[in-house]
């Protein structure tokens, strides 16, 4: 599977490109950068043995032999780049969040299905062996009564924000903020296991420019409630707990990595710990899974993933608007 990388930011430099070194099923054919970042792209291409660098997306789409493009640019342009790639006949891997709105997500999903192309959202936790195991263990917990998720990590960009310098991660005009960045992992975990909530509302700490620097989403389901806390303005140990009438399950550490989890069942005397992930780089699992689905031509599995992406985006948009968080020109 041949893949072109769009972007030269942190998620590409420290995430995708290093991960792809351990994914023999994928060949990276090119890196796209803005003209002013060409030297950065050239350095990355040299370090990771990528043969081509482009500064024009149309040129890449017309001339590069990549079957897929990986959209690793800022949130607000995920939709634009993914749509252009699909219209050009390229399959797409789009970094989370899928897009800025539910309408954009629906359009991209429909376009991919219409053109018989593959589109995947890169949400690391959904593709970890630990997550697949949690899905299998879930019925053993009995009727679920409560889910609590917390992913809070002080952002290095927050210091600049406090000084009045707004980078994309803290710019609502560019679809930034805690909910669509760090808390989106919590929403994916909860909705990936339990489906869309009946109701969702969001309470946030809102900064001077209208961005949510931290917040908690409260979700209601037929038999239980779930809370999802995400913060970029403060720290806390990450975790997710799932409480059932017959036992509990706890994810240990940051939800985006899902490195380990524990289960305790009523009537037993011990807690069982699982660490089933096979790769230290959290992105390796998802790239390998995307390559497998594409190789197997498993369009149905791809569509099942899109159902989660759309449900998450619909919930996130409802939550965001309940807190008065406005994106772009809304």
Residues 261 and 132 in one domain: yes
Would residue 154 count as lying in a domain?
Answer: yes
CB 2 within 8 A of CB 68: yes
In this prediction the pTM is: 0.96
Task: Tell me, yes or no, whether 8 and 106 share the same domain.
Answer: yes
What CATH number should be reported for the domain holding residue 196? 3.30.360.10
Q: Is residue 303 in some structural domain? A: no
Q: Residue 81's domain is classified under what CATH number?
A: 3.40.50.720
Q: Tokens 């299998």 — which residue?
A: 136
Distances (CA, A) of 185 to 17, 44, 309: 21, 27, 11
Provide the residue range defining the domain that includes 316. 126-284+310-322
In a domain, 292, yes or no: no
One domain for residues 112 and 132: no
Q: Which helix (H) or strand (E) holds 252?
A: strand 247-252
Q: Where are the beta strands (DSSP E) in 125-246?
A: 144-152, 199-206, 212-220, 225-231, 236-244
Q: Do the domain assignments include residue 91? A: yes
Shared domain for 277 and 177, answered yes or no, is yes
Q: What is the largest CA-CA distance in the chain?
A: 63
User: What pLDDT was estimated at residue 269?
Assistant: 87
Are 63 and 159 found together in one domain?
A: no
Instruction: List the chain residues with pLDDT less than 50.
Output: none
Same domain, 97 and 141: no
Residue 328 confidence (pLDDT): 83
- Whether residue 291 is contained in a domain is answered as no
Count: domains in the chain: 2
What pLDDT, on a 0 to 100 scale, did the predictor assign at position 330? 74
User: CB 114: neighbour CB atoms within 10 A?
Assistant: 9
Half-sphere exposure of 53 (CA within 13 A, CB side): 19
**What integer pLDDT is reported at residue 187 of this predicted model?**
98
299 falls within a domain? no
| Co-location of 130 and 103 in the same domain | no
Task: Choose one of 80, 101, 122: the last residue of a domain.
Answer: 122
Q: Does 262 reside within a domain?
A: yes
Residue owning tokens 């019925």: 139
* 195 lies in the same domain as 210: yes
> Are residues 64 and 21 located together in one domain of the fold?
yes
CA trace torsion 193, 274, 266, 141 (10° rounding): 10
Domain final residue pick, 81, 100, 122: 122
CA distance 108 to 120: 11
Residues 14 and 57 in one domain: yes
Residue 198 and residue 259 share a domain: yes
| Same domain, yes or no: 54 and 165 | no
Inside any domain, residue 48: yes
Final residue of a structural domain among 66, 97, 122: 122
Distance of alpha carbon 30 from alpha carbon 6, whole angstroms: 8
């Amino acid at each position: 599977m041949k893949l072109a990388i769009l972007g030269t930011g942190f998620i590409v430099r420290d995430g995708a490109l290093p991960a792809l070194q351990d994914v023999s099923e994928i060949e990276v054919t090119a890196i796209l950068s803005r003209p002013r970042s060409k030297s950065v792209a050239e350095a990355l291409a040299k370090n990771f043995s990528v043969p081509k660098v482009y500064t024009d997306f149309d040129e890449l789409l017309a001339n590069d032999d990549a079957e897929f493009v990986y959209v690793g640019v800022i949130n607000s342009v995920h939709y634009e780049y993914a749509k252009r790639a699909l219209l050009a006949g390229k399959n797409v891997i789009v970094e989370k969040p899928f897009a800025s709105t539910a309408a954009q997500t629906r359009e991209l999903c429909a376009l991919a299905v219409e053109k018989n192309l593959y589109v995947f959202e890169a949400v690391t936790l959904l593709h970890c062996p630990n997550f697949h195991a949690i899905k299998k263990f879930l019925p053993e917990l009995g009727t679920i009564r409560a889910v609590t998720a917390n992913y809070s990590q002080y952002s290095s960009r927050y210091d600049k924000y406090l000084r009045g310098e707004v980078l994309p991660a803290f710019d609502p005009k560019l679809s930034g903020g805690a909910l669509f960045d760090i808390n989106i992992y919590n929403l994916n975990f909860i909705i990936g296991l339990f489906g869309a909530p009946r109701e969702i509302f969001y309470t946030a700490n809102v900064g001077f420019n209208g961005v949510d620097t931290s917040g908690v989403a409260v979700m209601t389901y037929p038999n239980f409630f779930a809370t999802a806390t995400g913060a970029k303005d403060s720290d806390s140990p990450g975790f997710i707990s799932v409480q059932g009438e017959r036992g509990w399950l706890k994810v240990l550490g940051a939800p985006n990595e899902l490195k380990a989890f524990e289960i305790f069942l009523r009537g037993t005397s011990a807690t069982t710990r699982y660490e089933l992930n096979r790769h230290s780089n959290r992105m390796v699992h998802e790239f390998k899974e995307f390559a497998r689905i594409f190789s197997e031509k498993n369009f149905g599995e791809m569509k099942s993933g899109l159902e989660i992406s759309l449900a998450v985006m619909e919930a996130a948009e409802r939550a965001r608007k309940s807190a008065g968080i406005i994106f772009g020109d809304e």
